[in-house]
């Protein structure tokens, strides 16, 4: 079945790098997404990676994909207070191509 798992909380010091991890079960995943949710708002797409890629970089964001271990990570360099939010990992698969399955979200908090 389809399942996406994330740890619930992460706390980092301002200026350090944040690494948010995600594991998924469906090996037929096509696209994997990272969304950000700020308080009182909907989910906002941060970045995505196609399953035939290992890495994608976009400014302060780096996505790493390990297909063998079904592991996805999001690294945020030089974490700022504005990065405080809930980060969701999500997958789209061949078996349910129109559905995107979301993880439970990781709440990132920044300490001074």
User: Which stretches of the chain bind other proteins, using CB under 8 A?
Assistant: 31, 33, 35, 40-45, 48, 50, 88, 92, 97-105
> Whole-number minimum distance, CB 49 to other proteins, in Å?
10
Question: Which is nearer to other proteins, 79 or 90 (by Cβ)?
Answer: 90
Nearer to other proteins, 79 or 106 (CB): 106
At closest approach, how far in Å is the CB of 61 from other proteins?
Answer: 15
In 38-97, at which residue ranges do the beta strands (DSSP E only) sit? 43-50, 55-58, 61-66, 71-76, 85-93
Token look-up 């995107």 returns 100
**At its nearest, how many Å lie between other proteins and the CB of residue 105?**
6
Tell me the closest approach of the beta carbon of residue 51 to other proteins, in angstroms. 11
**Residue among 44 and 81 whose Cβ is closer to other proteins:** 44
Is 4:102 a contact under the CB 8 Å cutoff? Answer: yes
Q: What is the rounded distance in angstroms from the CA atom of residue 55 to the CA atom of residue 104?
A: 23
d(CA 84, CA 72): 20
The smaller minimum CB distance to other proteins, of residues 9 and 50, is found at: 50
Give CA–CA dist 64/45, Å, rounded.
17
């Amino acid at each position: 079945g389809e399942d996406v798992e994330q740890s619930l909380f992460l706390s980092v010091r301002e200026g350090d790098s944040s690494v948010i991890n995600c594991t998924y079960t469906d090996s037929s995943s096509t696209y994997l997404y990272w969304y950000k949710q700020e308080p009182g708002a909907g989910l906002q797409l941060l970045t995505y990676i196609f399953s035939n890629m290992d890495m994608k970089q976009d400014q302060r964001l780096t996505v790493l994909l390990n297909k063998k271990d079904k592991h996805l990570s999001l690294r945020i360099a030089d974490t700022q207070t504005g990065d405080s939010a809930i980060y969701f990992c999500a997958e789209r698969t061949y078996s349910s191509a129109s559905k995107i399955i979301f993880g439970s979200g990781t709440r990132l908090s920044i300490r001074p």
